[in-house]
Homo-oligomer: A and B are copies of this chain.
């Protein structure tokens, strides 16, 4: 088994993605009215992404120049150039991944809408295949990029960190910008449309409705595409760096380095086969169809790990068990997320119930649920890391009294790397499930706006609620994989920075750690504020249009959608820059002033706090959203009741938490890791000491 195999699988996956694109484009795109609406969404999304990528490119070019000039290593005079070029390629590939995701989603949405007019199966297939196209494309792109660099750098993964840094750098801007865009539009559309004027969701009379639909594509789709592109890229590089540790390289040689790439390829194969299992039999819950596809992918991936362990890792099956730990942890995390956010479960029902006493009791309960939702999650992640480490070194140690450079320790870490690979092996299918949500959401919006019969709306509503569940699950998965990848990258950072450990009882490290935690709070505050500020502007605009054009409400006048699209676009571009630069410069300042160990403290505690805050914000938002959905389904007084009004406040409060700040934190966690890894050479000498 060699690296050529990785190229082959990636090309096949791209080919399959291409065939699926042709299939999707061949589907009926509905009535003229539907095509017109879809065209507006497409135009808005393309215009926004174009401008976003231009902004990111300018910042990335400046950063590249700084990297080339600043990174100096006497042993490797080309390190700065290598890092800079890798960075540029990583940023480019990340943008490409986001663009492909958006490209296919704005074409699938209208066809899925048309499909909903026929059957659940038809709509499900189109929406899911739209999702899997970018799942396959994103993973193949990452594999192709890393494998090429692996060949160029002669198998030294430490030279590839620039690529990971570039990918997370671009991903942060994309996720944050997209998140601001989508939630500012969503909040404004809801607050004026639903609450003040009393028109339903996605009503064509709402001036912010197109901006809202564009937002799903640039935030949820393009943003998450860049996010997971970055996850798998960083994880692969981190795992390969652990593969060059003497105790691992000494036994497995180059096999230990290409194992991560081949393991990912087996996930691609699993997903390509899994596609055939996603269909909806009569009356089958569409959610089950998606889960069936995921399980098939997981089983084939596991089989791939078994085979690869036999061929590449001398048949040491303890590594296969470590991979299973990762796969199983991913499933448990999904179940936990479902428990805390689904309205069939106690926590969300309690939020809805508390709304009977008013908005405040409901929100108080919501915050408590969000905080509590981290408990089991963290225990699962902790146990998974310990188990995988223990399996990695042949069930001999949890590492507490070991030296960092001991073979037992290094082999244990390689075990945690393989568990992370296991968890991330199902990424293509997860991306498909994740993309499914916004595509069906868009399809529903298009149907509502084009005034089609109620029956089609029912199909899309059904799929939309499944999409809400899958979106929450895949976010939980995103956080879990960020936590595991980060732990890999910690170890890689110590390796690259030449540290023996990160000792929190030192004042400089404690200060760094405190600042790491603080950066997470600061970033979240800025992200949330950006949404608040933008929606305040847009709310004024929407109110103005309703007032200036009375024909809108009567349906005789068309609202000026482009004005709202424009507000979101400008605000997102403006507000994504400052918080992102904060995350980039924070670790650099601490590293340069206080040294590599303080930067390590920042990175590790920033990661822990980032994971917890992301969980909190994602789940509080999802639970509040679903509490509202529960009431809208006719419980506790139903739509229009005071209880409903209370839950609408909760939903709106949760929006920027769950779709702007929360998902951006996934990327922040990984960016903190790749940035310290790439810039470790700068931190060797602390300015203050």
Please report A residues at the B interface, Cβ cutoff 8 Å: 187, 191, 195, 354, 357-361, 363-365, 367-372, 374-375, 378-379, 381-383, 385-386, 389, 397-402, 404, 412, 416, 483, 487, 490-491, 494, 500-511, 513-515, 517-518, 521-522, 524-526, 528-529, 531-532, 535-536, 539, 594-595, 597-598, 600-601, 604-605, 608-609, 611-612, 616, 648-649, 652-653, 656-657, 686, 688-689
* Interface pair B398/A195, CB less than 8 Å apart: no
- CB contact between A517 and one of B370, B531, B595, B609 (< 8 Å): that residue: B609
- CB contact between A191 and one of B358, B363, B600 (< 8 Å): that residue: B358
* Interface pair B195/A358, CB less than 8 Å apart: yes
**Considering only CB atoms, which chain B residue lies closest to A543 in the complex?**
B357
Task: Give the chain B neighbours of A368 by CB distance below 8 A.
Answer: 524-526, 528-529, 532
- CB contact between A400 and one of B515, B517, B531, B594 (< 8 Å): that residue: B594
Task: Give the chain B neighbours of A378 by CB distance below 8 A.
Answer: 514-515, 517-518
**Considering only CB atoms, which chain B residue lies closest to A388 in the complex?**
B507
Q: How far is the CA of A518 from the CA of B478 in the complex (A)?
A: 18
* Interface pair A515/B379, CB less than 8 Å apart: yes
Q: How far is the CA of A494 from the CA of B509 in the complex (A)?
A: 15
Task: Give the chain B neighbours of A598 by CB distance below 8 A.
Answer: 400
**Considering only CB atoms, which chain B residue lies closest to A650 in the complex?**
B360
Q: How far is the CA of A398 from the CA of B502 in the complex (A)?
A: 15
**Considering only CB atoms, which chain B residue lies closest to A645 in the complex?**
B359
Q: What is the total number of copies of this protein in its complex?
A: 2
* Interface pair A371/B612, CB less than 8 Å apart: no
* Interface pair A505/B510, CB less than 8 Å apart: no
Q: How far is the CA of A367 from the CA of B657 in the complex (A)?
A: 10
Question: Beyond A354-B536, A368-B529: 4 further Cβ-contacts under 8 Å?
Answer: A400-B506, A416-B507, A494-B505, A503-B503
**Considering only CB atoms, which chain B residue lies closest to A590 in the complex?**
B382
Task: Give the chain B neighbours of A595 by CB distance below 8 A.
Answer: 400
**Considering only CB atoms, which chain B residue lies closest to A582 in the complex?**
B375
* Interface pair B487/A510, CB less than 8 Å apart: yes
**Considering only CB atoms, which chain B residue lies closest to A603 in the complex?**
B504
Task: Give the chain B neighbours of A608 by CB distance below 8 A.
Answer: 513-514, 517, 605, 609
Q: How far is the CA of A540 from the CA of B629 in the complex (A)?
A: 26
* Interface pair A525/B371, CB less than 8 Å apart: yes
- A-B contacts, 14 of them at CB < 8 A, read A359-B359, A368-B524, A371-B521, A371-B522, A375-B518, A385-B510, A386-B507, A398-B507, A398-B688, A399-B506, A483-B514, A501-B505, A501-B506, A517-B609
* Interface pair A361/B191, CB less than 8 Å apart: yes
**Considering only CB atoms, which chain B residue lies closest to A412 in the complex?**
B507
Q: Min CB distance, A338 to chain B, in Å? A: 18
Task: Give the chain B neighbours of A649 by CB distance below 8 A.
Answer: 358-360, 363, 649
- CB contact between A398 and one of B386, B514, B604, B689 (< 8 Å): that residue: B689
Q: How far is the CA of A494 from the CA of B510 in the complex (A)?
A: 14
**Considering only CB atoms, which chain B residue lies closest to A371 in the complex?**
B525
* Interface pair A375/B521, CB less than 8 Å apart: yes
Most buried by B among A354, A361, A505: A505
Most buried by B among A354, A382, A383, A609: A382
Task: Give the chain B neighbours of A515 by CB distance below 8 A.
Answer: 378-379, 382
Q: Min CB distance, A111 to chain B, in Å? A: 34
Given the contacts A400-B594, A514-B378, A367 and B506 also touching, CB distance less than 8 Å: no
* Interface pair B521/A616, CB less than 8 Å apart: yes
* Interface pair B689/A401, CB less than 8 Å apart: yes
Task: Give the chain B neighbours of A370 by CB distance below 8 A.
Answer: 525
**Considering only CB atoms, which chain B residue lies closest to A536 in the complex?**
B357
* Interface pair A597/B400, CB less than 8 Å apart: yes
Task: Give the chain B neighbours of A358 by CB distance below 8 A.
Answer: 191, 195, 649, 652
Task: Give the chain B neighbours of A612 by CB distance below 8 A.
Answer: 517-518, 521, 609
